[in-house]
Amino acid sequence: MRAEELQSDPREELRGRSKETTERVPIADEEGAKGNGFIAWDVAGMTDVGLRRSSNQDHILMDAKNGIFLIADGMGGHRAGERASRMACIHVYRFIRNELHSSMPAELQPVEPRKRWTRAMRLAAYSANRYIYDYACAQPRFKGMGTTFVALLVHDDHAYVAHAGDSRLYRVQAGAITRVTRDHSRLQDLIDQYNLTEEAARNHPFRNVITRSLGNHPDVEIDIMDFDVEQAEMLLLCTDGLCGVLTDGQILHIVESAKGDMSRGCRLLLQAVNRAGAPDNVSILIARPKDKREPAAL
């Protein structure tokens, strides 16, 4: 399967059967977010319909210039799922980007940066949830529409994450893979309660039952996390079309075999999923920070 190459754009949205974008875009310039500690990112994203689905309800949005990366997996039927994932990504993106470009001087901001950005991520997710829910209520044919999502903002070398559902964020560094998000699913609840093995979990009848998502209810609980980003690490976002098929160990091995090539890593992961039958839509986004900002001269 060959991926189409899209035009390189810092706000590229990916949707469709199989599309790919790879970019290395300066973050801190006259149009970008000010004060971001990383000057550039190596980024690649890919989304694919899989081998058993007729439509792709996943959505990816990346803005390397501002350090914003989003992934979502829609539900509620063909049109509803596509629309929900797209609405979530665009709404959250616009909210965060507007906050990044707020004209209020830093010294006048009401809270310190960490509190400001965790609050912004939470409000962005709440706003998107209500937006999708209200839209579905006004459009009966979209009743039940919703989406999982992971939103990642990296600002001043620090990552802020908002999450609902079973799409995931991983950190990959020094031969190890760490899952940052916790799945909001019946299966994850059973794993926590009964210590199910990974193999038993992979074949469990509840593996696709989601307990949290954007748009299904007027209110939703959002997980918010933050951590310092290391220059050598990779951040990998994916839908369950990847992590529901490959183990964390397999994902790590494949990403490391790409030897730092983000685009090749995405392609190798997709090929592995296809060899395993690709029962669902598959979306992958890999980002690696580059070129730390030089300290200002005294």
Residue 190 lies in a domain: no
Please check whether residue 196 lies inside any domain of the structure.
no
How many domains, in total, are found in the chain? 1
For residue 230, the one-letter residue type is E
Task: Report yes or no on 154 lying in a domain.
Answer: yes
Task: Give domain status of residue 155, yes or no.
Answer: yes
Quick check: is 127 in a domain? yes
The boundaries of the domain holding residue 227 are 4-179+212-291
> Quick count: other Cβ atoms within 10 Å of Cβ 250?
17
Q: Confirm whether 207 is domain-assigned.
A: no
Is 228 a domain residue? Answer: yes
3-state secondary structure (DSSP) of residue 66: coil
What are residue 23's DSSP bridge partners?
Answer: 43
- Show the tokens assigned to 158: 């620090």
Mind listing the pLDDT tens digit of every residue in the chain (298 residues)? 333 222 334 344 444 444 444 333 233 333 433 445 665 789 999 999 999 999 999 999 999 999 999 999 999 887 899 999 999 999 999 999 999 987 665 555 667 889 999 999 999 999 999 999 999 999 989 988 999 999 999 998 999 999 999 999 999 999 999 999 999 988 887 777 777 766 666 666 777 789 999 999 999 999 999 999 988 899 999 999 999 999 999 999 999 999 999 999 999 999 999 999 999 999 999 999 886 554 444 4
Q: How are the residues of the chain apportioned to helix, strand and coil, as percentages rounded to the nearest 5?
A: 35, 30, 40
For residue 88, the SS3 value is helix
Is residue 64 assigned to a domain? yes
We report the CATH number of the domain holding residue 21 as 3.60.40.10
